[in-house]
A = this chain, B = another copy of it.
Amino acid sequence: MEATGSLGPGDPQPPGTAEGTAPMERSGREATSEEKSVGFVLVHAGAGYHSESKAKEYKQVCKKACQKAIEKLQAGALAVDVVTAALIELEDSPFTNAGMGSNLNLSGDIECDASTMDGKSLNFGAVGALRGIKNPILVANKLLSEAQKGKLSAGRIPPCFLVGEGAYKWAVDHGIVPCPPDIMATKFSLSAFRKNRRKLELAEKVETEMIQTKKRREVSENTNVTASLDTVGAVVVDHEGNVAAAVSSGGLAMKHPGRVGQAAVYGCGCWAENTSGPNVYSTAVSTSGCGEHLVRTMLARECSVALQAEDAHQALLETMQKKFVLEFLWSHTTESMCVGYMSTQDGKAKTHISRLPPGAVAGQSLAIEGGVCRLRNPVT
């Protein structure tokens, strides 16, 4: 696990330890425009290492994504479309490893993973190893919404997970504009690719020599491919109290073509679940980090399950049931994580780069931060 941004159940602990959304009552009447403008968004620009020199840019990206989401919420949009709008901003930034400026793979191509989940319907849409589409999240969202329309002609079940060339064709057939691959690579991602390729050539040369001289493998960490930021994501609560989550990633630098990471895998990249039956809370989770590890932990879903299981939350829940309190959390084991959040009551987004404490070693330490947000009463 490298990092998660999540909305979870309320908790009697102080802000910065655990978080959530309380369930809400609904009525049949139409929401007023003021009620419709209630909502919250939390975005993250990926876990990894955020240099001080680029801190301003990362924060700016998060801010823009939050503002876009809040505009949508204020226009009455539902969570699953709002989270897509936030992701588009994150993907369009050349500073994030998603959409534009994604890491290049071993062949010098950009192949993206993305997925989204709607807490209301529990529907899921995902794309893996997708080339030539500037906003992979748009395809994931479209897969989700098309599947909600029911079966295709001749009783065929609509797909929820498409990869590679087939995913590209489906996207174009469904009105998503393709993007020439060379536009998606930025000066920065190309220069990182060239540097990584040299490191790789060197590492392989060293290994060949080691095999010849029968030396044990002791390659310096400096020869490793540059660790860059991973998956971006967001979680949203809309005026009906629906939650949604999404993630998008260019994947690991120098990955093998066709490699699919956690951002495309059900239960691993994102999770969203409205209150219902045994779930006393609505929860939404978006993860970031090394895909191979995250897949094996099913982190997104596990976080959601863990948040539901907290008995201690029950007391708080009862007192806050009518208040539409949501608590949010981010947590990382990487050097840093850049997040932004905003509610419909806020004039502007708050952004923050969370860093491990001085002296802490990435991968061996964990930072957890968060907050609480009280929204105006939603539709009751």
Binding site for B on A (CB under 8 A): 111, 122, 124, 128-129, 147, 153-170, 196, 199-200, 202-204, 207, 219, 221, 223-225, 252, 254-261, 265-268, 290, 292, 295-296, 298, 301
Contact = CB atoms under 8 A, between A and B. Distances in A.
Contacts of A162: 256, 258-260
Contacts of A202: 154
Contacts of A290: 157
Nearest to A253: B156
B257 A169 contact: yes
A164 B254 CA distance: 17
Main secondary structure of the interface of A (DSSP, over half): mixed
Nearest first, the 7 A-B pairs at minimum CB distance are: A166-B258, A164-B164, A155-B224, A166-B257, A154-B203, A163-B163, A153-B203
A313 to B, nearest CB: 22
Contacts of A252: 156-157
Contact of A225 (B124, B154, B225, B261): B154
Contacts of A156: 200, 224-225, 252, 254-255
Copies assembled: 2
A258 B160 CA distance: 11
A203 B163 CA distance: 26
Contacts of A292: 147, 157-160
A164 B266 contact: no
A256 B161 contact: no
Contacts of A295: 124, 160-161, 266
15 contacts: A122-B296, A124-B296, A128-B260, A147-B292, A153-B219, A154-B219, A154-B223, A155-B225, A156-B200, A161-B295, A163-B164, A165-B258, A166-B256, A170-B257, A267-B267
A153 B129 CA distance: 22
A109 to B, nearest CB: 9
Contacts of A122: 296
Contacts of A155: 219, 221, 223-225
A288 B66 CA distance: 42
Contacts of A254: 154, 156
A203 B153 CA distance: 6
Contacts of A160: 292, 295
A154 B226 CA distance: 9
